[in-house]
Homo-oligomer: A and B are copies of this chain.
């Protein structure tokens, strides 16, 4: 950490949105989210069957999604059942909607205007 503040104070929303986006920044994790979205829940084993990656790799991706708060795991021995974390999933959807919808609510022209 040098003189320029690497510890900038971003707004909570910006951090949250970036956090969610980062977790979604891999095609395998998108696939997992889509699967969970489509069929409510599933086990790690189900994923290792439909995704041709090592079991440890998939477990790692699940951890990323869990750490970001997008999914949650219910331990149900000897398996673990994963579902979307509905609260955070909804929150993420709202944040994305917010940033994308903003463009629509503004003036439609949106030309590059002011130069200095």
Contact = CB atoms under 8 A, between A and B. Distances in A.
A75 to B, nearest CB: 13
Interface in A32-56: 33-34, 37-41, 43, 51-54
Given A5-B52, A89-B100, A100-B93, A27 B14 contact: yes
Copies of this chain per assembly = 2
B24 A81 contact: no
B99 A34 contact: yes
Interface residues of A, number: 58
A65 interface: no
A93 B74 CA distance: 31
Nearest to A92: B100
A10 B31 contact: yes
A40 B18 CA distance: 21
A112 B30 contact: no
Contacts of A17: 24, 30
B18 A29 contact: yes
Greatest chain B CB density within 10 A among A21, A26, A92 is at A21
